[in-house]
């Protein structure tokens, strides 16, 4: 909830990196203390799963209600993570290097990607399909596609989607090594942007095939850049393909879109390529916001977090402002609001792009008045 | 919806393909996976899990006759790039504390999907899953879901490499990868090894995976010792049932109270093959 309050207030949640690294970096940090898991899950009490658990509590009543209405076998989950429990293995590895022994507390299952699904399944009691998608920074947007397949095929009546990642030395040092991170607040679409801020957190959405919708998943577009493992296609061709596919899937045209939640990492290459793609598909007059200027880049949790922001925009008929934007990159010809706007919003696109050229655009529609 | 198997491929260290894996026949020539169609520059710095995923994907596609540029793909792995993860941690300990950009870009779970799309110019879509010992089941489920949505074909790859030290102190297995090309329609052309069946069949059909309660039929498969605990171990049973054209319910793994299986059926003309059911 703090994140949504910050969004509403135009207030970022970026802080100096709390990890021990020999350089400066701002990060999207969940303030301590993050509660440990209950004793019955003590073996899984590592930060990534603690964040996933903490974030889940807000949606747990809705999931319990879905289980009650549809039955445990008819509720499933498709969850995203990029880091998995690597931070847990980092601690264990460093101790092993010192002592030649893995610490007794080390749990390989807590390292694994799918532990979040097993944990929440065990606790919530759903018994439908439960698995994890890990496509780096598009992970928890790609889960919408997996979930829709579960709904369309008749496997499930409700599917929990979401994502969770925690800060880890591997990612913080890795992005620094790629010269992709910033020592100061990230500034997506600004002429003075110099990189992204790694973030952490969790976000969830409950999808139902039928029922009391607050908004609709109208369309999904996926593509591969087929260009480079860590750099986007500079012409944004993969992003263009994903956005066009999402529009076609939703039966919408460019003029139907009232707001775009951009991937907008704050790296030089991503933002200019994405801006080209948005201009090509939607033109220059659709409001575009990168909410990573509030949260940092939450990697495997980013897609779901930004889906939630998109749904808030639809429900509240309101879009947030871009932060730290001025001066805008002159190469970027987008409508980039610097003030929050209360305005009619019928349909929203949310972009997520990733290493490996994994692209996905989600189209959400509001409930007609 | 059910899916027709157009082709399959497998790899383990020293075992170059499905028959060698099933017979646990080791040869020195198969020490490294072949990488037909993958530029060496692209594959530099990639891990065993990515290289063997790329290899089985390319070989299964070549057999199937399906265009690798246009097929959607599912890559499943329980632990993904775990060796690169540990290598990066070692660099933090012994080097200058920096993580190599070349390693980092190949450290994500979808590295296999990424190199596949880049090498083959595939702009369609791919996804990368993890589901522990149910990784094969969920990869097959995702593949069937993609066919349900209208794709004519889908590539399903599962792979996990041997865990590195010190994680291998917890559990050990050998590297192993398998791939299947599935289609909505029966195959039109026979693959080089006859798996695709040709116009007259026989065709192998896979029903969508199901949660399974009760006994499962397990093919008489010799499990290499290095695969006993492997997260994708159930792929071995599926490879065997398809290779031997053995109809029946094949286990796709179990975790806690959750077990999955897949129904294999044989359609069309039957062919007597030595040592196989027909």
Cis peptide before B113 (omega within 30 of 0): no
The pLDDT of residue B269: 56
Chain segment B186-239, per-residue pLDDT in tens: 887 544 444 555 555 689 999 999 998 776 666 678 899 999 999 999 999 999
Q: Which of B127, B149, B171 faces A152 most closely, judged by CB atoms?
A: B149
pLDDT of residue B274: 40
Q: What are the tokens at B155?
A: 């590539």
Strands of A180-317 (E only): list them: 201-208, 215-224, 259-261, 288-289
- Give the residue on A whose Cα is nearest the Cα of B114: A356
Could you say which residues from 226 to 255 on chain A have a Cβ atom under 8 Å away from some Cβ of chain B? 226-230, 237-238, 241
What does A217-243 look like in DSSP terms, one character per residue?
A: EEEEEEEE--S-SSS--TT-HHHHHHH
- Report the pLDDT averaged over residues B67-88: 98
CA–CA separation, A152 vs A243, rounded Å?
22
To the nearest whole Å, the CA of A119 is away from the closest chain B CA by: 12
Containing A71, the helix (H) or strand (E) segment is none
Half-sphere exposure of A330 (CA within 13 A, CB side): 0
Encode burial over A46-71: b for 16+ CB neighbours within 10 A, e otherwise. bbbbbbbbbbbeebeeebeebbeebe
Q: Of all residues in chain A, what percent carry a pLDDT higher than 70? A: 100
Looking at per-residue pLDDT, the higher value among A233 and A369 belongs to A233
Omega before A94 cis (within 30°)? no
Confidence bin at A111 (pLDDT 50/70/90) = very high
pLDDT in tens, A161-174: 999 999 999 999 99
Across the range B264-269, mean pLDDT stands at 84
Domains of chain B: 3-267 (3.40.47.10)
Span A113-130, pLDDT tens digits: 999 999 999 999 999 999
The reported pLDDT for the residue numbered B255 is: 94
Whole-number Å distance between alpha carbons of A361 and A301: 15
Which residue in A235, A245, A221 sits closest to A275, CA to CA?
A235
- Identify the helix (H) or strand (E) that includes residue A47: helix A47-56
Q: Provide mean pLDDT across the span A272-295.
A: 98
**pLDDT tier at B29, thresholds 50, 70, 90:** confident
Q: Which residues of A are catalytic?
A: 137, 263, 297
Mean per-residue pLDDT of chain B: 91
How far is the C-alpha of B107 from the C-alpha of B85, rounded, in Å? 6
Q: Which of A176, A181, A137 is nearest to A301 (CA)?
A: A137
Tens digit of each residue's pLDDT (9 = 90 or more) over A181-191: 999 999 999 99
Confidence (pLDDT) at B114: 98
Q: What is the ipTM of this complex?
A: 0.97
Q: Is the dihedral of CA A206, A211, A213, A219 positive or negative?
A: positive
pLDDT over 70 (residue B271): no
Instruction: Give residue B272's pLDDT.
Output: 46
Least confident of A41-45, A210-214, A293-297, B20-24: A210-214
Measure in Å the smallest separation between the Cα of B13 and chain A Cα atoms.
24
The confidence score (pLDDT) of residue B199 equals 53
For an interface test with B, give the residue of A114, A175, A235 to mutate (most B CBs within 10 A): A114
> Average per-residue pLDDT in chain A?
97
Residue A35: is its pLDDT beyond 70?
yes
Instruction: Sort out which chain B residues have CB atoms less than 8 A from A357's CB and list them.
Output: 114, 117-118
Angle at the Cα of A7 from the Cα atoms of A3 and A8, rounded to 5 degrees: 120
pLDDT of residue A167: 98
Which 8-state DSSP code applies to residue A326? P
Tell me how far CA of residue B165 lies from CA of A97, A213, B60, B84, B159, in angstroms. 11, 49, 31, 12, 19
Read off the pLDDT band of B96 (50, 70, 90): confident
- The pLDDT of B65-78, averaged and rounded, is 98
Residue A333, pLDDT score: 96
Cα(A241)–Cα(A359) distance, integer angstroms: 9
CA distance A369 to chain B (A): 30
- How does DSSP assign chain B, residue by residue? --EEEEEEEEEBTTB-SHHHHHTT---GGGSS---TT--HHHHTT--HHHHHHHHHHHHHHHHHT--TTS--EEEE-SS-SHHHHHHHHHHHHHSSSPPPHHHHHT-STTHHHHHHHHHHT--S-EEEEE-GGGHHHHHHHHHHHHHHTT-SEEEEEEEEPPPPTTGGGT-----EEEEEEEESS--SS--TTSTT--TT--EEEEPPPEE--S----------GGGTT-TTTHHHHHHHHHHTT--EEEEEEEETTEEEEEEEEEESS----TTS--
Is A2-366 CATH 3.40.630.30? no
**pLDDT at B268 (0 to 100):** 77
Q: What percent of chain B has a predicted confidence (pLDDT) above 90?
A: 81
Q: Where are the domains of chain A?
A: 2-366
> Chain A contacts of B106, Cβ < 8 Å?
229
Please give the pLDDT value at position B204. Answer: 95
């Amino acid at each position: 909830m703090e994140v949504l309050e910050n969004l509403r207030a135009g207030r970022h949640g970026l802080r100096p990196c709390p990890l021990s690294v020999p350089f400066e970096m701002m990060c999207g940090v969940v303030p301590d203390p993050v509660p440990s898991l209950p004793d019955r899950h003590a073996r899984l009490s590592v930060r990534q799963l603690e964040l996933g658990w903490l974030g889940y509590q807000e949606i747990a009543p809705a999931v319990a209600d879905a289980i009650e209405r549809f039955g445990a076998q008819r509720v499933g989950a498709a969850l995203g993570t990029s880091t998995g429990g690597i931070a847990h293995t980092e601690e264990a590895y460093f101790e092993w290097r010192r002592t030649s022994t893995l610490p007794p507390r080390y749990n390989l299952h807590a390292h694994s990607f799918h532990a979040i699904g097993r944990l929440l399944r065990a606790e919530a009691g759903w018994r439908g399909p439960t698995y994890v998608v890990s496509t780096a920074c598009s992970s928890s947007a790609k889960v919408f596609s997996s979930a829709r397949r579960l709904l369309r095929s008749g496997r499930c009546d409700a599917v929990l989607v979401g994502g969770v990642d925690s800060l880890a030395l591997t990612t913080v040092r890795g992005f620094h090594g790629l010269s992709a991170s910033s020592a100061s607040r990230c500034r997506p679409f600004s002429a003075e942007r110099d990189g992204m801020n790694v973030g952490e957190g969790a976000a969830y959405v409950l999808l139902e095939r039928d029922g009391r919708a607050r908004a609709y998943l109208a369309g999904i577009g996926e593509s591969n850049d087929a260009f480079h493992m860590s750099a986007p296609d500079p012409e944004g061709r993969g992003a263009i393909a994903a956005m066009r596919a999402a529009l076609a899937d939703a039966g919408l045209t460019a003029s139907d879109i009232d707001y775009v939640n951009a991937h907008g990492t704050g790296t030089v290459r991503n933002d200019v390529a994405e801006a080209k793609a948005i201009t090509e598909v939607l033109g220059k007059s659709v409001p575009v916001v990168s909410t990573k200027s509030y949260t940092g880049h939450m990697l495997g949790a980013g897609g779901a977090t930004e889906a939630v922001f998109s749904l808030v925009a639809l429900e509240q008929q309101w879009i947030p402002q871009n932060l730290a934007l001025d001066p805008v990159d002159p190469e970027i010809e987008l409508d980039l609001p610097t003030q929050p706007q209360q305005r009619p919003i019928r349909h929203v696109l949310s972009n997520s792009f990733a290493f490996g050229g994994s692209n996905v655009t989600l189209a959400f529609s509001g409930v007609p008045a | 919806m059910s899916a027709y198997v157009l082709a399959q491929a497998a790899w383990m260290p020293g075992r170059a393909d499905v028959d060698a894996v099933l017979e646990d026949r080791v040869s020195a020539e198969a020490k490294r996976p072949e990488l037909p169609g993958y530029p060496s520059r692209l594959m530099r710095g990639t891990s065993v899990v990515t290289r063997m995923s790329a290899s089985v994907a390319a070989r299964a596609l070549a057999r199937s006759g399906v265009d690798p540029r246009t097929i959607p793909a599912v890559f499943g792995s329980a632990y993904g790039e775990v060796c690169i993860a540990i290598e990066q941690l070692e660099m933090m300990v012994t080097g200058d504390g920096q993580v190599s950009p070349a390693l980092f870009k190949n450290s994500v779970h979808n590295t296999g999907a990424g190199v596949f799309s880049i090498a083959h110019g595939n702009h369609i879509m791919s996804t990368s899953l993890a589901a522990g010992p149910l990784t094969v089941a969920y990869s097959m489920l995702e593949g069937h879901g993609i066919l349900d949505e209208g794709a004519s074909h889908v590539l399903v790859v599962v792979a996990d490499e041997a865990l590195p030290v010190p994680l291998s102190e917890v559990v050990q297995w050998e590297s192993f990868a398998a791939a299947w090309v599935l289609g909505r329609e029966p195959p039109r052309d026979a693959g080089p090894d006859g798996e695709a069946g040709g116009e007259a069949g026989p065709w192998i059909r896979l029903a969508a995976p199901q949660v399974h309660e009760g006994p499962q039929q397990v093919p008489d498969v010799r499990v290499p010792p290095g695969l006993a605990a492997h997260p994708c171990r159930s792929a071995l049973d599926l490879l065997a049932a398809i290779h031997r054209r053995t109809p029946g319910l094949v286990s796709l793994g179990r975790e806690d109270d959750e077990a999955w299986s897949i129904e294999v059926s044989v359609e069309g003309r039957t062919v007597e093959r030595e040592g196989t059911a027909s």
